[in-house]
Chain A
């Protein structure tokens, strides 16, 4: 016992000596640093630096991740559903009117055509009408609207579309309870920022999912390197908690992305309990004032094979 005490004391002495030496080295480093006022003459903090601070002030850092209440969720759902219904009725009426007008207007052009040609034109028209919604431009403004309704906006990533009765605030997932994601309706891109997952179907033995964030804006953007992983269950998105939570510092690490540049970020899959059979997953990226997602699923050898065979037969 006395021997071990002696050894501990000796170690303490050595540790003290090392500490003293480190301190002396720091003093030496410090001695080469000019006084504050002199450095201030050498360097003025850039406008960008100040703007960055202002932007952080404006957005209060990370876009707020608040917990949505069930009542609020249902109310939002009803509101969105009603708006969409009205929109559908109005757009249906307009589209119907426009179709009638265009048909009557184009009759003259068809008059000279042979019946076979007319058939072709009609088929082409139908095809264009069917494809049109997918080609509409993406609207980048309204991506934070909450509580997924069943209808999908053009250019918007598929959303949680559970009806009000089917949505629970939490569900059982891989043996633990997970909570409803704060934002159900998210976009993959805006006109200036885009997130893209490395593959829409990820191998089950993949170590990570890579998400590329592209900045097509003319100014730098800032995003949080730490992403959320969410899973689609019964039409609603739920947050998959990581096994090891990121430190506060990791969570708050901002990445600056220059104009015209793209950057890869990774979600390491070993840090999550995953259900490979789940319908869909999405990686959620937080930026200043913007939340984007990119979706993927895991490969399902049987289903994928069936699908491939079906396509071959067709």
Chain B
């Protein structure tokens, strides 16, 4: 805790960080535990998440707001996924060796995102692999840049960008299937 505090510049930031830590440490542990199923590993994920938070404290405006809770949730999830992958010796599903960005012309996700397909969209996001979901959450919900996302995921900005496009492609495939199966509109 005090290590984290030493990395923060102003008293205001330290106060904010302390508040977040006190208020959400258990919540963060629970989120990590749900993914990892191991209390000890969940603690590791919490430590990593709070360390990461010290560098993105500017994203937190109000400690009590739901936005803060969601932001923490995304960070913890991404750290837990990282730990899970390392322990299993797995490569992220979104990084099958190649760093090629999928052809932009084949990115038709926007065509499937319509008000009519909103319910399908929700169900596909809920089914989406967490590794892809956190990329979306960082990008769209927390408005983070590729470089910021790369820093949080411990990968290069290029790989962060690749992961983002792969996540889009995966969501598109899921929506395609869903829409085709239920007679929705493209």
Q: For chain B, give the interface size range.
A: 35 or more
Asked if B113 lies at the interface with its beta carbon under 8 angstroms from chain A, I say: yes
Asked if A17 lies at the interface with its beta carbon under 8 angstroms from chain B, I say: yes
Asked if B126 lies at the interface with its beta carbon under 8 angstroms from chain A, I say: yes
Contacts A14-B110, A15-B140, A39-B27: A26 and B70 contacting too (C-beta < 8 A)? yes
Nearest A residue to B168 by beta-carbon distance?
A18
Residue of A22, A26, A29, A52 near B47 (CB, 8 A) is A52
Please give the residue numbers on chain A whose beta carbons come within 8 Å of chain B beta carbons, in ascending order: 10-11, 14-15, 17-19, 21-26, 28-30, 33-34, 36, 39-40, 42-43, 45-46, 48-49, 52-53, 56-57, 60-61, 244, 247-250, 252-253, 256
Residues B26 and A39 in contact, CB atoms below 8 Å apart: yes
User: Which B1-53 residues have C-beta < 8 A from chain A?
Assistant: 1-3, 6, 23-27, 29-31, 33, 39-40, 43-44, 47-48, 51-52
Residue of A43, A53, A244 near B33 (CB, 8 A) is A43
Contacts A18-B113, A29-B73, A250-B154: A34 and B121 contacting too (C-beta < 8 A)? no
B87 to chain A, nearest CB (A): 12
User: Which B125-159 residues have C-beta < 8 A from chain A?
Assistant: 125-126, 133, 136-137, 140-141, 150-152, 154, 156
> What is the CA–CA distance of A40 and B70 in the complex, to the nearest angstrom?
19
B142 to chain A, nearest CB (A): 10
Asked if B101 lies at the interface with its beta carbon under 8 angstroms from chain A, I say: no
Residues B30 and A57 in contact, CB atoms below 8 Å apart: no
> What is the CA–CA distance of A56 and B26 in the complex, to the nearest angstrom?
21
A34 to chain B, nearest CB (A): 7
Q: Can you give 10 contacting A-B residue pairs, CB < 8 Å?
A: A15-B140, A25-B126, A25-B133, A30-B73, A39-B30, A46-B43, A56-B3, A61-B3, A247-B151, A249-B55
B156 / chain A contacts, CB cutoff of 8 Å: 244
Nearest A residue to B6 by beta-carbon distance?
A60
List the 5 closest pairs (A to B, CB-CB), nearest first: A56-B3, A39-B26, A57-B2, A247-B151, A14-B113
Asked if B69 lies at the interface with its beta carbon under 8 angstroms from chain A, I say: yes
Classify the interface of chain A: helix, strand, loop or mixed.
helix
Nearest A residue to B112 by beta-carbon distance?
A14
Residue of B43, B118, B122 near A45 (CB, 8 A) is B43
Residues A22 and B39 in contact, CB atoms below 8 Å apart: no
Residues A53 and B125 in contact, CB atoms below 8 Å apart: no
Residues B2 and A17 in contact, CB atoms below 8 Å apart: no
A23 / chain B contacts, CB cutoff of 8 Å: 70, 141
Nearest A residue to B126 by beta-carbon distance?
A25
B166 to chain A, nearest CB (A): 16
Residues B30 and A30 in contact, CB atoms below 8 Å apart: no
Asked if B182 lies at the interface with its beta carbon under 8 angstroms from chain A, I say: no
> What is the CA–CA distance of A11 and B107 in the complex, to the nearest angstrom?
13
Residues B125 and A36 in contact, CB atoms below 8 Å apart: no
Residue of B26, B30, B69, B115 near A17 (CB, 8 A) is B115
A39 / chain B contacts, CB cutoff of 8 Å: 26-27, 29-30
> What is the CA–CA distance of A113 and B163 in the complex, to the nearest angstrom?
80
A276 to chain B, nearest CB (A): 26
A249 / chain B contacts, CB cutoff of 8 Å: 51-52, 55, 151-152, 154
Residues B113 and A53 in contact, CB atoms below 8 Å apart: no
> What is the CA–CA distance of A17 and B175 in the complex, to the nearest angstrom?
14
Residues A248 and B151 in contact, CB atoms below 8 Å apart: yes
> What is the CA–CA distance of A17 and B111 in the complex, to the nearest angstrom?
12
B3 / chain A contacts, CB cutoff of 8 Å: 53, 56-57, 60-61
B1 / chain A contacts, CB cutoff of 8 Å: 53, 57
Residues A34 and B40 in contact, CB atoms below 8 Å apart: no
Residues B115 and A33 in contact, CB atoms below 8 Å apart: no
Residue of A42, A53, A252 near B2 (CB, 8 A) is A53
